[in-house]
Amino acid sequence: MSPNPHDSTLELARRLGATALVCEVAATRRLSPSLHEVVLRGPSSLCGAPGNDVMIQVVNGDGRLVRRRYSVRSFDDERDEFTLWVTTEHVGAGSSWARDAAPGDQVDVIGPRGKIVLDELADWHVFIGDASGLASFYRMAQSIETPGRAIFIVEIDDPSDAVTAPFDEGLGVTGIFIDRQARAHDDPAGLLSGLAAFELPPDVGHAYLFGEFSIIKVVADALLDRGMTAEQISRKAYWRAGRANADHGEPDKGEA
């Protein structure tokens, strides 16, 4: 018999209108210096639409149970498995869990979570952020109906973090990876330079900004200055430089 999630997990899932299950780690591997892949056994109903995430329960450094949220990279209906890409270049409860996870480990999972999904009416899609957004970026882009266009502008800490993905031959794909070059993790200069060097396509597009709290705010303003409307910009802060995420998994949104 499968174990039941913690009572607190069941109660939170009830309030959120989501599903709570205990999932088992099926496999793990290091993808790059900054990314670790964790495959969990669980139904696709946890994964939602491309752009959605799941909430997992992990142990913090002081022994407390906290929650972290990770976008689903992909799922396999035949095997009842889904994949997460977790950034591990920093010290944190989620990164420690991903580095140490081993097949057979169990974890409480709540899903699906998130409100950002692909704008199916857009002619082109631009995905902007750091390595923490790659899982969601690639899953969303792989769901674009052809013909269509996907543009990736991603800042990375190491050349090996430029992890790629396969796409339908009918999809136009442009990838721009920007070396951080030791800039601070809340310095938007790298992404702004990549954005400035790229001419946005004509017709109607949509931008998806996933990454560091301060940076995506600045990049959103830059896109507005270039003529995009607020309705054409979806943004999700995964983390905030210098501050641990709150126990529920969201970054601190208070003033600096």
- Residue 222 sits in a domain whose CATH number is 3.40.50.80
pLDDT for the residue numbered 91 = 86
Give the per-residue pLDDT at 90.
85
Give CA–CA dist 74/38, Å, rounded. 11
Domain annotation covers residue 253 = no
Are 196 and 152 contained in the same domain? yes
In a domain, 108, yes or no: yes
pLDDT, tens digit, for every residue of 15-64?
999 999 999 999 999 999 999 999 999 999 999 999 999 999 999 988 99
Q: How large a percentage of the chain has pLDDT more than 90? A: 89
What would the two tokens of residue 144 be? 């674009």
Range of the domain at 82: 7-113
Residue 1, pLDDT above cutoff 50: no
Tally of structural domains, the chain: 2
The answer to whether residues 188 and 141 belong to one domain is: yes
Q: What is the pTM of this model?
A: 0.95
| pLDDT of 131 over the 90 cut | yes
Place of tokens 């995964």: 238
- How far apart (Å, rounded) are the C-alpha atoms in residues 237 and 162? 20
Residue 85 is predicted with a pLDDT of 98
Q: For 153-207, how does the pLDDT look when each residue is reduced to its tens digit (9 = 90+)? A: 999 999 999 999 999 999 999 999 999 999 999 999 999 999 999 999 999 999 9
133 and 199 part of one domain: yes
Strand ranges for the chain from DSSP E: 19-30, 35-41, 53-59, 65-76, 81-87, 106-113, 124-130, 148-156, 171-179, 205-212, 233-239
Q: Within this chain, do residues 98 and 194 fall inside the same structural domain, yes or no? A: no
What number is the average pLDDT over the span 104-118? Answer: 96
Q: Within this chain, do residues 135 and 61 fall inside the same structural domain, yes or no?
A: no
Say yes or no: 128 and 109 in one domain. no
Q: Looking at residues 221-242, what average pLDDT do you find?
A: 96
pLDDT > 70: percent of the chain: 98
